[in-house]
Structure 1
């Protein structure tokens, strides 16, 4: 069995844990009044991952601001609600947790964490390492192949599903390679990706099953039933814009040292630093778990 590198999608996991816990009534406040729901949830997932999955390597990526997609399409993600006021400072705390465990963080100006994760996956698999991406974002499913799996949360934080190529096909009716083409037609309301107006899930899947990709669909437009032919023709520009917006970049140059990503274990992180941080955050249950790693 090959060694495994777990890549954590920092912002996506922070959002997911924040809304999962606050939505369930979790107070998420330290004795000093600091909001901690997202930090607690993120740290819970991290510790569970280390304990249950025993990864050989770990790394994290965070978003760092505007990207080339915003320049390409100023309305990109414009419909999203702004980050909750009590979540913003928790991102910094999460970064402190990651730093305390001596887990490398990778970011790239002008690109999203998705692009960094995609590029890290490409680099790592060339080194014969199996990659598992831990995220709350289905967009990462386009990266799935025999050497890359994606872990998405289920109904609870502890209920995660690991997607292989066959799992993606079974769940969504398209292959990982077709995921971007699918999104190019159906769009994405959360990212404000337009897609093709009037083409929905069933039609997009049927077209991809028949023509394999967006380019072939447009090359065979005259063979498609008239009502969808008209919609596709009228929205061709939006379709190919959507494909550019949805496609994850996988060829970024990153300073990646696999050895530096060794998962937290005895001797390779400062346990006193972690314990002090957990005391500051009143994470008493986590204190017991981290002692087992030392």
Structure 2
């Protein structure tokens, strides 16, 4: 029996096409209690690519003492060979040491991960926001000089578990300063999933007012309160065309326990397919990939679409 598909009813308020920035292999696996073998991680990337996902963040060159789940970054990229390199296979680098490792591995794109709030900057990077930006400056400069594409993540854009609501003006200022370093793209992170539609509109308007236009912005919503998909659609209606998502709804943050899973790539693809928006993703192949990974993790996939289509 064929898997059901959404009935296509084109939505003129959405972009014609959307780029899905798949974060499952990095953000999705970094919070697992057990370490997934490098061979499984590499096969995960291959299967995601085979399902039509063009941009896949493969791993992180963070100190393995802090994120042991990703201590095998070089091994994973070695197993992927050319499939793990290029501008469509970014890796996260926290500092210049991480960049050194990434350059030695021959990657073509990197990302730095900052915070809109002081408390999370301290917990995640052991630095203030100001000190974090100073640490990122040579990373971005060197990466650009080497011809790499660079992404800048800003976490806690919609709320912080220690500080509570985060003023939009504060988020905009951190984003502006990070992009002024030379990043090609900005990812707005709702790390604990508290954002709502009106908040999304206001933040994007604030960024536009300082010259950070929607063509340079991606959105990264966690689904803690079930708002990830509605917030994503709100951003798309503002003109954003890059969406972070994790296959199977995997993910979280080691330093913010209230950060539950990412927006599930399957749930996003189902919604966009139904709206007539092109993603290039084969939903059947993606669901099969997430079910396969759920088997390796020993638990059902959090994605509603995966569960509906597999009966899990």
**Common topology (TM > 0.5):** no
Higher helix share: 1
Q: Highest Rg: 1 or 2? A: 1
Give the alignment's TM-score, normalised by structure 1: 0.28
